[in-house]
């Protein structure tokens, strides 16, 4: 159970949050990645390389665009085969996706430095879906044993990936995400969905830990560094939570957004969290700067924007303002994406500035001394 102190703090934060309705941040540059009259969905991005699935001639294919320079997207195909290729993920020059081959889904990949060499990550009887990638490690969900489990594979040798079962548990484990040596996923058990993690540093001794596991649903995790974010219905609608898992046995949890509306599908990169948010009756993309502790809108219009992904100052998402889903991108300007290079002396709340909030905190404990004996305090 959450500690009573956390609940009290959270309720206070909710009361404050309900008074704050940020407008779209000024200076955000938004553009269509690849204008098309075909449906485009499920974007991902890493270092300016965007991937997505696009409905072409009746089936889904994987496309990519380099948007790193001057918004001039260089668009190219990644996987254009018979049947469907969906749910792409990208890291560096490697793109992975789920591919419907013959009668079931498998996980495939492509090294963009070797564009003629599509390789198999995992393709067995039953389904392998929802891939994610970091470095040379790919993770996905697999129902080989009759329920969904999480697997990982080292693809250093793309011709012979080395697989490991990461979640040998009952019930379903789904939607894995990965950062360095940590994976997180949804765990279905006991009537609700929880968020778990595993340290995969030593594949012969995997260390699993719980991140958010309470008698309500925690869904759609994302991870960067030691921070895991997810959607949580602790307050009766989906809100955005985060936890620092630097000490996996004692994750430090906090609320990111708890507006009375649904917030879901979060992603995180560095100190910026993004998610889709329907507080105004349609889906918009909203962000939170962990460093400045400020929330801001990336999109705020009458159309729907969903499924955001972030890398650096780029955010990509689905947008249906043209009547079909296209992939849009936004560039976050410097003030709203500000980061902290070092914490100044006197900064009591770690927001990278010393202001009246810090003064009040210092003043509240002014002349407090816990030395024993007390006579030593002022000598």
Work out the pLDDT band at 18, boundaries 50, 70, 90. very low
> Contact, 161 vs 138, CB < 8 A?
yes
Using the predicted structure, report yes or no on whether residue 144 has a pLDDT greater than 70.
yes
Q: What are the structure tokens assigned to 272, written together?
A: 């910026």
User: What DSSP string describes 287-323?
Assistant: EEETTTTEEEES--SSS-EEEEEEETTEEEEEE-TTS
- pLDDT tens track for 172-219: 999 999 999 999 999 998 889 999 999 999 999 999 999 987 778 999
> Contact, 291 vs 340, CB < 8 A?
yes
* Domains of the chain: residue spans and CATH: 4-343 (2.120.10.30), 344-379 (no CATH)
> Contact, 53 vs 61, CB < 8 A?
yes
What pLDDT is stored for residue 213 in this prediction?
A: 75
Q: Which residues, other chains included, contact 175 with Cβ-Cβ below 8 Å and sequence gap of 6+? A: 130, 141, 185, 186, 219, 220, 221
- Nearest-CA neighbor of 40 among 27, 50, 26? 50
121-131 in b/e burial notation, b at 16+ Cβ within 10 A? bbbeeebbbbb
Query: How long is the chain?
Result: 379
> Contact, 289 vs 337, CB < 8 A?
yes
Eight-state DSSP code of residue 169 = -
Q: What are the structure tokens assigned to 144, written together?
A: 């080989």
Residue listed under structure tokens 């070797």: 114
Strands 192-199 and 182-189, how do they pair?
antiparallel
d(CA 181, CA 352): 29
Backbone phi, then psi, for 230, in 5-degree steps?
A: -160, 170
What pLDDT is stored for residue 53 in this prediction?
A: 98
Report long-range pairs for 300-307 (Cβ below 8 Å, ≥24 apart). 300/23, 300/24, 305/276, 306/265, 306/276, 307/41, 307/42, 307/43, 307/265, 307/276
- pLDDT tens track for 275-287: 999 999 999 999 9
Q: Which residue has the higher pLDDT, 357 or 272?
A: 272
């Amino acid at each position: 159970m959450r500690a009573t102190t956390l609940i009290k703090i959270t309720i206070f934060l909710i009361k404050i949050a309900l008074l704050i309705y940020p407008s779209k941040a000024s200076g955000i540059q938004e553009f269509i990645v690849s204008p098309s009259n075909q449906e485009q969905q499920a974007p991902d991005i890493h270092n300016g390389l965007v991937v997505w699935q696009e409905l072409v001639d009746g089936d889904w294919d994987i496309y990519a665009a380099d948007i790193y320079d001057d918004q001039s997207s260089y668009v190219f195909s990644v996987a254009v085969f018979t049947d469907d290729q969906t749910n792409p993920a990208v890291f560096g020059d490697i793109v992975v996706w789920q591919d419907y081959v013959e009668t079931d889904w498998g996980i495939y990949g492509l090294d963009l430095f070797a564009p003629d060499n599509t390789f198999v990550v995992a393709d067995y009887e039953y389904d392998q879906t929802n891939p994610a990638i970091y470095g040379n490690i790919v993770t996905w969900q697999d129902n080989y044993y009759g329920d969904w489990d999480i697997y990982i594979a080292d693809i250093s040798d793309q011709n012979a990936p080395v697989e490991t079962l990461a979640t040998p548990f009952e019930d379903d484990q789904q939607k894995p995400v990965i950062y360095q040596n940590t994976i997180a996923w949804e765990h279905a058990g006991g009537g609700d969905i929880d968020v778990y993690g595993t340290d995969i540093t030593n594949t012969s001794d995997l260390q699993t830990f719980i991140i958010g596991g309470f008698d309500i649903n925690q869904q759609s995790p994302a991870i960067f560094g030691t921070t895991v974010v997810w959607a949580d219905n602790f307050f009766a609608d989906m809100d955005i939570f985060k936890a620092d898992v630097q000490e996996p046995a004692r994750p430090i949890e906090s609320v990111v957004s708890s507006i009375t509306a649904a917030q879901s599908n979060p992603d995180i990169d560095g100190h910026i969290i993004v998610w889709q948010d329907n507080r105004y009756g349609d889906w918009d993309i909203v962000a939170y700067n962990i460093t400045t502790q400020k929330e801001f809108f990336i999109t705020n219009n009458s159309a729907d924007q969903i499924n955001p992904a972030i890398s650096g100052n780029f955010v990509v998402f689905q947008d249906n303002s043209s009547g079909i889903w296209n992939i849009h991108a936004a560039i976050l300007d410097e003030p709203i994406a500000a980061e902290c290079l070092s914490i100044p002396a006197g900064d009591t709340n770690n927001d990278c500035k010393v202001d009246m909030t810090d003064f009040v905190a210092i003043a509240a404990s002014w002349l407090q001394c816990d030395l024993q004996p007390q006579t030593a305090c002022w000598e």
